[in-house]
């Protein structure tokens, strides 16, 4: 007898400890390229520590690539004998072609896959899968779950403090003049993935301390208005700062459940070492 639902995510999402040990969760990794060298973003082929060291010494800016349709087809071919269908939650289509590869892989195998554009990255994917699992426990069908998750993508809030301007500059996401002025003035750019799934700057703050306070103020605003009690802090090799931010959030929401996690390698390549993000989801209605 087949199981009802397999859960799929790619490595732009945060792979929680629960996901790593869950028998029905499958993670499809992106690829990271340093010149002619290619690594799989699985935490084994290239650890985060190794990634940051390679970035510092690399002559060319590293790139990432989505999993191929063939890679997804290989997985789905195996799963179609074990499951009735799958729900796949992927990075925003505005920032990655992964969902297109996933859909193409499903078509190649004839396996029913409900592909959900998270309109997000990192915990934006993971939180939707957690939500989907809860809905499945409540007896919802896969089609109902996928539809509900698509509706709830707009409830995700994320505020990202970029930690390394030079990495944005190397990656072509900042002009030379912007990089020079930003470094000179010690500007801390804060960006957000919008409700449409696009990455856009929302503010520039003149000190790291003020930037952290900016994140806390936004969290407090939604805590007061919506009673938010679950937050996620994602970081790129700055665990101490993440712990410090957690303590500050607990000052405004003492009962809050706060998860701290590493940005995946495929995200850290673009965000840069030192990046820290504060995320949460508004309560589903």
| pLDDT single digits (tens) 26-49 | 999 999 998 888 888 877 787 888
Residues 133 and 193 in one domain: no
Q: How many residues does the chain have?
A: 285
CATH code assigned at 245: 3.30.1180.10
Please report whether residue 58 resides in a domain: no
pLDDT of residue 170: 53
pLDDT of residue 166: 57
Question: Does residue 282 carry a pLDDT above 80?
Answer: yes
How far is C-alpha 117 from the chain's CA centre?
A: 12
Please report whether residue 56 resides in a domain: no
CA distance 11 to 102: 13
State the total domains in the chain. 2
pLDDT of residue 47: 81
Contacts of the segment 200-206: beta carbons below 8 A, 24+ positions apart: 202/159
Single pTM value for the model: 0.90
By residue range, what is the domain housing residue 243?
156-281
φ, ψ of residue 273 in degrees (nearest 5): -60, 140
- Section 212-230 average pLDDT: 95
Residues 8 and 148 in one domain: yes
Where do we find the tokens 């992964």? 98
Report the share of the chain in percent with pLDDT over 70.
91
pLDDT 10s digits, 186-209:
667 788 898 899 888 888 787 888
């Amino acid at each position: 007898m087949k199981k009802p639902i397999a859960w799929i995510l790619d490595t732009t999402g945060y792979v929680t400890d629960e996901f790593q040990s869950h028998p029905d969760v499958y993670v499809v990794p992106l690829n990271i390229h340093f010149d002619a060298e290619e690594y799989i973003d699985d935490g084994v082929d290239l650890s985060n520590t190794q990634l940051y060291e390679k970035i510092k010494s690399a002559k060319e800016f590293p790139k990432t690539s989505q999993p191929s349709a063939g890679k997804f087809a290989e997985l789905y071919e195996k799963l179609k004998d074990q499951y009735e269908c799958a729900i796949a939650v992927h990075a925003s289509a505005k920032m990655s072609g992964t969902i297109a590869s996933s859909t193409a892989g499903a078509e190649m195998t004839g396996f029913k896959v409900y592909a959900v554009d998270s309109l997000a990255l990192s915990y934006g994917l993971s939180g939707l899968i957690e939500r989907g699992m809860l809905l499945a426990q409540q007896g919802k069908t896969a089609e109902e779950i996928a539809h509900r998750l698509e509706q709830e993508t707009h409830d995700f809030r994320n505020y990202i403090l970029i930690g390394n301007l030079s990495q944005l500059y190397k990656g072509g996401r900042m002009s030379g003049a912007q990089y020079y002025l930003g470094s000179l003035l010690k500007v801390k750019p804060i960006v957000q993935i919008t409700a449409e799934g696009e990455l856009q700057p929302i503010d520039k703050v003149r000190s790291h301390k003020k930037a952290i306070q900016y994140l806390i103020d936004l969290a407090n605003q939604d805590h007061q208005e919506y009673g938010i009690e679950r937050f996620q802090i994602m970081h790129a090799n700055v665990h101490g700062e993440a712990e410090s931010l957690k303590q500050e959030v607990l000052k405004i929401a003492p009962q809050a459940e706060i998860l701290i996690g590493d940005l995946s390698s495929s995200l850290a390549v673009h965000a840069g070492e030192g990046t820290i993000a504060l995320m949460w989801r508004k309560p589903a209605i």
